[in-house]
Amino acid sequence: MASILRVNTLTDASSGNSIATSVLFNGSAKAWGNLDGTGTIAIRDSYNIASATDEGTGIYDFNYTSNMTNDDYSANESVSETSGFEGNLNRYPAIDGVSTSDIRFGATYSGSNQDVDELYVTIHGDLA
């Protein structure tokens, strides 16, 4: 039988630090992913990401395990190069589309889409 624990505040063992459970629920990332964006793409690590799809050069899609309530959530993306264009900081991450079930994103360099070694996405919003 499942149990429910209902609390308004969590406090550490010494009672020196506490936090309202609403802060944990509303402020924590609802999904995040670390993607290897070159060759055969692969998710290095993630939370609430069911799969990743290569949509073309420099364009990727994360599909959520648990959907978002709506498409008005906040998404942040960054990219990193570990080979090839090292030292060149002119990579521009771009979020191309959001829905309740996935997010499409990518990176450009010198005006065209480019695959990147590492791509990071963090999602904040409400889960359905």
Radius of gyration of the chain (CA): 18
Do 108 and 60 touch, CB atoms closer than 8 A?
no
In the chain, the amino acid numbered 69 is T
Residue 118 has pLDDT above 60, yes or no: yes
Which structural domain, as residue segments, surrounds residue 92?
31-124
Q: What percent of the chain has pLDDT above 90?
A: 49
On whether residue 13 sits in a domain, the answer given is no
Report the CATH number that the domain containing residue 41 is assigned in CATH.
Answer: 2.60.40
Instruction: Please state the domain count of the chain.
Output: 1
Residue 23 has pLDDT above 80, yes or no: no
Reported confidence tier of residue 76, pLDDT bands at 50, 70, 90:
very high
On whether residue 26 sits in a domain, the answer given is no
User: For residue 48, how many C-alpha atoms fall within 13 Å in the half-sphere facing its CB?
Assistant: 21
Do 52 and 35 touch, CB atoms closer than 8 A?
yes
On whether residue 88 sits in a domain, the answer given is yes
